[in-house]
Amino acid sequence: MNILVTGGCGFIGSHFVLRHRAKHPEDTIVVLDKLTYAADRSLLAPIEQDIVFFKGDITEASIVSHLVDDHAVDAIVNFAAETHVDRSIENPIPFIHTNILGVQSLIEVCKLHPTLRFLHISTDEVYGDIDDDDPPRTVASCLIPSSPYAASKAAGDLLIIAAMRTYGIKACITRCTNNYGPHQALEKFIPTVFRHALKDEPVPVYGEGKNKRDWLYVTDHCDALELLLHTSWAFNDPVIKSGHLFNISANDERQNIAVATMILDLLGKPRSLISFVKDRPGHDWRYALDSSLIRKLGWKPTVSFMDGLQNTVEWYKKRLEVRR
C-alpha cells in the first residue's frame, strides 16, 4: 500500500509515519505538510531518506492529485488540521481554511480517483461536552460542537459523509479522545504543565481543574488507525448509509487537576505551582466515547496512563533541556 499522509510532520501524524515505516518498510510514504508552527520536520529525520516529502497546503487539490498520481497512492491519511481551541476562539479563519476547505479539497481528489481510500482523523469534540452521569457518546450521537475548532471539524466530517453518499468515495472517519505523548505542540495541556513546572513557574489550569478528559497514548491511537487502514470494508461497507465512523478511546477519564498533579509529582515539583486561571469561553466539561466498534476488530490500548505520562515527561525533559 502506498499512502499519502497529510500533516505528517505534526504530533500524531509524525508518530503514524514513523510507526508505519517500521511496520511496512515496503510501502511508499508521501508526506504533505504545510509546516506551520505546530509542525516539525525534524521529527521524521530518522527516516527522511525513505519517504517522499512535499511542502504544501491540502487546500491545493491540484498538488494533492499530482502526488496521488505520481506515487500511485492507494490511501490518504488526513492528519492536517488546526487543532488548538484557544487559537480558534481568537481567530477561526485558519480553522475554516484547513479543517473545512482542506477537507473538501481532499474530497475532490477522491472524486477523481474512485479507488482511493480516505482515512480522516477527527475528534471527540464534535460531540460537544457531556455531564458526569451521561453515557459515552456513540457514532450515532448528535454533533453539538462548542468551539470554532470543534465546529470546523464537525463540518469536515459532514462534508465527507455527504460525499460518501453522493459521490461514492471510499472514506472512513475516526474520532479520538485527547491524545498525549512525545512530539506534541508545547501549547497543549500536558506540555504546558511540563514546561512551566520545569522552570518553576506557575502552572496555569483553567477554572477549578475539574474538567474531565479521556487520555489516549498517541501510539495506541496510531495502531487503531493502522488497523482500519488495512480493513477494506471500513471504507465501503454498504450497510453504513451515512458514512463509516469509528470512535477511538482508552476509557481512562481524569480531571485536569489530577493530570497536572501527576506531572508535578513525576518532576518532583511542588503542587503549589498550580495556578487556577479564568476559564476559557465555552469550555467543555467532559468528553467520553464508546469505542466498542473498533474494539470488536481486536484493537485495545496497550500503554497505561502512568507509563505513557512517564514516557512523555522524559521526552520533553530531554528536548527542552537541549533547547536551553
**Which residues belong to the active site?**
124-125, 149
- Please tell me the distance from the alpha carbon of residue 213 to that of residue 285, in angstroms, as a whole number: 8
Give the type of residue at 193.
Answer: V
Instruction: Give me the residues paired with residue 254 across strands.
Output: 213
Reading the block at residue 279, the C-alpha cell is: 476559564
Element (H, E) at 122: strand 117-123
One DSSP character per residue, 151-219 reads: HHHHHHHHHHHHHHHHH--EEEEEEE-EEESTT--TTSHHHHHHHHHHTT--EEEETTS--EEEEEEHH
- Please tell me the distance from the alpha carbon of residue 52 to that of residue 4, in angstroms, as a whole number: 9
| Count of CB atoms situated within 10 Å of the CB of 199 | 11
What does DSSP say about strands 203-206 and 274-277: parallel, antiparallel, or unpaired? parallel
- Please tell me the distance from the alpha carbon of residue 44 to that of residue 128, in angstroms, as a whole number: 33
b/e sequence 229-262, b meaning 16+ C-beta within 10 Å: bebeebbeeeeeeebbbbbbbbebbebbbebbbb
- Please tell me the distance from the alpha carbon of residue 207 to that of residue 283, in angstroms, as a whole number: 9
- Please tell me the distance from the alpha carbon of residue 253 to that of residue 294, in angstroms, as a whole number: 19
